[in-house]
């Protein structure tokens, strides 16, 4: 009887020790899992919130967001910071003394579907995206880093066959991050605009719907001829359609910021 009791006690001690070890493993696993989820959420919340809002706001080709929806997207973009898309001013590209000789414009696509797209453009100093239009599109542009000059026009007539068409100058100013989000509509707000980088800069663009040759939303480039005698305050220009320059080609680069979750 004594031997049986001792054996039984030994088995119970082994089971208790094993239970403690298993409990320790479960606690450690659960703790690591919680920390991982918090870390992902902290870095991706802003871009995920913007993505979900875009899915709600943009209804597809031929539609323009309601004013309340425009305001919601504008507020979300106004709060966007470089780190929300994985950018840092410590990167060599964004340092003021970095050389831009021979540098090209690059872009990263965060997300694209038939209804909208989200992408980031990176411009080295003095880089220019010439005047271009956004047919049937509503566009939100948020300058995340750097300084740039923006010039934009709206058409004053509806005769696209003319070689030179009159347009109203809407914006002709310098912008430095952080600044408010700019918004343009299919026919107002400066639908035809150009970017000229003053310093290295990054711009987050949301387009609804995106460019599409299949849906007759191809991009067109223009050269402007300001008409200082046209109207009061020198706000008239004449725009001429031009062919895309070989120097304008942009390089696509992988988006390395927080990913959006669709579904």
Taking the model in full, what pTM does it have? 0.77
In a domain, 211, yes or no: yes
In a domain, 41, yes or no: no
Q: Give one DSSP letter per residue of 192-219, joined into a string.
A: EEEEEESSSEEEEEEEESPPBTTTTB--
In a domain, 258, yes or no: no
At 216 the pLDDT is 84
Question: Measured at the alpha carbon of residue 248, what is the angle toward residues 245 and 252, in degrees to the nearest 5?
Answer: 140
Return the CATH number at 246: 2.60.120.10
In a domain, 135, yes or no: yes
In a domain, 74, yes or no: yes
In a domain, 156, yes or no: yes
At 229 the pLDDT is 60
Residues 6+ apart with CB under 8 A from 100: 124, 125, 126, 127, 200
Domain that holds residue 117: 53-252
In a domain, 168, yes or no: yes
- HEC profile for 60-72? CCCCCCCHHHHHH
In a domain, 200, yes or no: yes
Contact call for residues 250 and 197 (beta carbons, < 8 A) = no
How far apart are alpha carbons 182 and 140 in whole angstroms? 6
Compute CA distances 71 → 5, 76, 128, whole Å: 77, 9, 29
pLDDT tens series, the chain, 263 aa? 433 434 444 554 555 455 444 444 333 333 333 333 333 333 469 999 999 999 999 999 989 999 999 999 999 999 999 999 999 766 656 654 444 455 789 999 999 999 999 999 999 999 999 999 999 999 999 999 999 999 999 999 777 667 889 999 999 999 999 999 999 999 999 999 999 999 999 999 999 999 998 888 899 999 998 776 655 445 788 999 998 877 777 899 999 999 999 87
């Amino acid at each position: 009887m004594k031997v049986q009791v001792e054996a039984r006690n030994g088995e119970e001690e082994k089971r208790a020790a094993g239970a403690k070890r298993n409990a320790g493993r479960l606690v450690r696993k659960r703790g690591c899992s919680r920390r991982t989820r918090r870390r992902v959420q902290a870095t991706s919340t802003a871009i995920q919130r913007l993505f979900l809002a875009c899915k709600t706001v943009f209804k597809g080709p031929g539609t323009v967001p309601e004013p309340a929806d425009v305001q919601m997207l504008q507020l979300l973009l106004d709060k966007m910071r470089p780190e929300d898309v994985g950018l840092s001013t410590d990167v060599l590209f964004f340092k003021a003394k970095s050389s831009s000789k021979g540098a090209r414009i690059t872009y990263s696509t965060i997300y694209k579907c038939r209804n909208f797209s989200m992408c980031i453009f990176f411009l080295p100093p003095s880089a220019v995206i010439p005047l271009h239009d956004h047919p049937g599109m509503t566009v939100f542009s948020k300058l995340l880093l750097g300084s740039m000059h923006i010039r934009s026009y709206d058409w004053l007539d509806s005769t696209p066959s003319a070689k030179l068409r009159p347009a109203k100058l809407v914006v002709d100013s310098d912008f430095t991050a952080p600044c408010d989000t700019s918004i343009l509509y299919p026919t107002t707000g400066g639908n035809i605009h150009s970017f000229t980088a003053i310093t290295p800069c990054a711009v987050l663009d949301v387009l609804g719907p995106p460019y599409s040759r299949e849906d007759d939303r191809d991009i067109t480039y223009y050269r402007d001829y300001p008409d200082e005698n046209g109207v009061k305050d020198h706000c008239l220009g004449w725009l001429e359609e031009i062919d895309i320059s070989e120097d304008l080609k942009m390089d696509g680069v992988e988006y390395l910021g927080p990913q959006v979750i669709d579904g």
